[in-house]
Amino acid sequence: MWRIRKFEEAVEDLFGRGMMHGTMHLSIGQEASPTGMCMAMTLQDQITSTHRGHGHCIAKGADLTRMIAELLGKKIGYCGGRGGSMHIADVETGNLGANGVVGGGLPIAAGAALASKMMNRGTVAVSFFGDGAMNEGAFHEAANMAAIWKLPMILFCENNGYGMSSSTAKAFAIDNLADRGKGYGIPGVNVDGNDVVAVYEVAQAAVDRAKAGEGPTLIIAETYRWKGHSRSDKNLYRTKEEIEEWRTKDPIPRFISRAIEAGLLNQEQCDAIQNDAIEAIKAAVNEAVKAESAEPSGLLDAVFKAVSA
């Protein structure tokens, strides 16, 4: 969680200095959800991610230098500078890619789960998405297909209360988003998205269900993003008090105090973990900044995969 937090803070800083092009969608405050979910997965299990996907990529094991390099438009970036923040994929860690289209990853994850079932691979496919995506047609079509074919898929919703500026109160006529599972005949599970242990438990249960061939699960993890939707967000749609309140539910100190109380870690160890994360991010940034910038030559050849004779 520290790695995700420090990574996002670093990105915020670098972007604020004008070193990163475009915009950034930060997930500060939401770290517990991807962490808990990915802890229940193996490297071969697959994920699809979102425009706010740095946390998913890191939790699934992505290389920090290559991530920063991509955001800086460098050759060694995950996409060679061609994709940017919203399109980072890492085949080796089962990451099928972040997606710039809301809901775009849901049918894709269903397809990956379908392939896993057809090939008897025994893996699961997790689609991360936000509350906003639940009103996209793609969510409906993917959920239904996963349900009727009992695909080994987990639909993991990071419900941070807002689809850009639309609050869930205004975008949904129901109060409990998990109730939508009933519409497809699949279990809908609520969990405190800022409690990493709770997320892990719910995730593991869903993974077990999927691998046992019982089909998909809809997980609604309640969480909150501290920063605006993107860098041009002035937070006109929510109040300072609301942001303040959620900051007190910061998943990281919550887990630290719980771990210390349970006698599993002491303060020193926790500090060391934080420092390791800081150092890791610093090293990644310093290395990425020095890397060669991506060049326009070769762009035409990059559109298609070459046909082998």
Region 198-217 residues binding other proteins, contact defined as CB under 8 A: none
CB closer to other proteins out of 148 and 171? 148
Exposed, middle or buried by CB within 10 Å (0-12, 13-18, 19+), for 252?
buried
Q: How many residues bind other proteins (CB under 8 A)?
A: 74
Q: What is the DSSP letter of 136?
A: S
Nearest-Å Rg of the Cα atoms of the chain is 19
Exposed, middle or buried by CB within 10 Å (0-12, 13-18, 19+), for 80?
middle
Q: What is the DSSP letter of 307?
A: P
CB closer to other proteins out of 145 and 191? 145
CB closer to other proteins out of 15 and 162? 15
**Per rule CB under 8 A, is residue 273 in the interface with other proteins?**
no
**Per rule CB under 8 A, is residue 172 in the interface with other proteins?**
no
**Per rule CB under 8 A, is residue 154 in the interface with other proteins?**
no
Closest Cα to residue 51, out of 125, 211, 144, 158?
158
**Per rule CB under 8 A, is residue 116 in the interface with other proteins?**
yes
CB closer to other proteins out of 141 and 201? 141
What's the min distance (Å) between Cβ of 201 and other proteins? 27
**Per rule CB under 8 A, is residue 46 in the interface with other proteins?**
yes
CB closer to other proteins out of 144 and 190? 144
**Per rule CB under 8 A, is residue 6 in the interface with other proteins?**
yes
Choose, by CB under 8 A, the member of 43, 171, 245, 247 that binds other proteins.
Answer: 247
**Per rule CB under 8 A, is residue 155 in the interface with other proteins?**
no
The residue range among 33-41, 117-125, 155-163, 179-187 that interacts with other proteins, by the rule CB under 8 A, is 117-125
Choose, by CB under 8 A, the member of 17, 173, 175, 239 that binds other proteins.
Answer: 17
Q: Is 97 left (phi over 0), alpha (psi -120 to 50) or beta?
A: left
What's the min distance (Å) between Cβ of 298 and other proteins? 10
Quick one: how far is CA 99 from the chain centroid?
A: 10
CA distance 286 to 133: 35
**SS3 string of 195-214?**
CHHHHHHHHHHHHHHHHCCC
**Per rule CB under 8 A, is residue 248 in the interface with other proteins?**
no
**Per rule CB under 8 A, is residue 161 in the interface with other proteins?**
no
Exposed, middle or buried by CB within 10 Å (0-12, 13-18, 19+), for 144?
middle
CA distance 63 to 57: 9
What's the min distance (Å) between Cβ of 308 and other proteins? 8
